[in-house]
Amino acid sequence: MTVTATDTTVHLDPDRHIPGVRSPGFAETLRAEWIKFWTVRSTMWATAMLFLLGAGLTVLICATNAEWLASSEADESPGSFITFGMTFAQITAIVLGTLAVTSEYGTGMIRATLAATPRRGAVLAAKAIVLVGTLFVAGVVTALAGYLGGNFFLDREGIGLALSDDGMLRSILGSGLYMAGLGLLAAAVGLLVRHTAAALSIVLALVFVVGTMVMLLPGAWGEWTSKLMPGNAGASIATPVSFNPNLLDPWVGFAVFCAEVAVVLLAGYLSFRRRDA
């Protein structure tokens, strides 16, 4: 008896759908990104350092400067110090945002991710939601803890700040928004360069070095360039009273910061979509 073989070739459609296999939906993609994000040690360490730096330094600076702030010699407002530690917590938000993207390229995990979910827009959206959600919550909790601890020492000198005071609640929520924005900016740069050290160097230099150096530019050019730098534009939302009165208003500055992050994120997405893993 002769058995005739039949053609069993399986043809994949342009969207890479495999017959008999359901493509993962966005919920599964989001869950996968959540698991990847929280099962590496760097996430826990970076989040812990964000809290320690943000809350710890705020309490320390308020404890050591409360007496001076209450004296007639003080030339700064207590509101400038009540979220002081968030200035240094920026570093850990940038690190976390960078690693959320570049660590997968470093280990080659990105190939498995894209094999499971070929829709790169869905992968990027899931990464962004997990990263932004984590940093927003961590930023708000850290700023609130710093406020409660630091305000204890300010209250003892009679210069405590209430949550109902102008800009106070906005600065606590704004700390979460700014941390989330910084993480997203770092992730976008990570998509462009695909290298942890390079992405960290670029974003840290942009926020901490270039934002200060442009103040040296002459005249109105230097003043406006300084106001529009990402670190200066975004940071004003995270403090009740800025050390630099020449910065943009908090919500205006944050809108500028969001626009800058959106531009870099769009460039990162286009690169992510067109380049091989």
pLDDT given at position 23: 66
Question: What's CA 164's distance to the chain center, in Å?
Answer: 27
pTM of the model: 0.88
Class of residue 105 by CB neighbours under 10 A (exposed 0-12, middle 13-18, buried 19+): middle
Dihedral, CA of residue 257, residue 38, residue 17 and residue 125, to nearest 10: -10
* C-alpha–C-alpha distance, residues 128 and 131, integer Å: 5
pLDDT given at position 7: 46
pLDDT given at position 12: 45
pLDDT given at position 87: 92
What Å distances lie between residue 228 and 53, 201, 218, 263, CA to CA?
26, 20, 15, 14
Q: State whether residue 95 is helix, strand or coil.
A: helix
DSSP notation for 127-164? HHHHHHHHHHHHHHHHHHHHHHHHHHHHHHTT----TT
Convert the pLDDT of each residue in 246-275 to its tens digit: 889 999 999 999 999 999 999 999 999 988
Count of helices and strands (H, E) across the chain = 12, 0
Per-residue pLDDT of the chain (277 residues; tens, 9 = 90+): 444 444 444 444 444 555 555 666 889 999 999 999 998 888 999 999 999 999 999 999 999 999 999 988 888 899 999 999 999 999 999 999 999 999 998 888 888 888 888 889 999 999 999 999 999 999 999 999 999 999 999 999 999 999 999 999 999 999 999 999 999 999 999 999 999 999 999 999 999 998 888 888 887 888 888 899 999 999 999 999 988 888 899 999 999 999 999 999 999 999 999 887 6
pLDDT given at position 21: 52
Convert the pLDDT of each residue in 5-18 to its tens digit: 444 444 444 445 55
Q: State whether residue 252 is helix, strand or coil.
A: helix
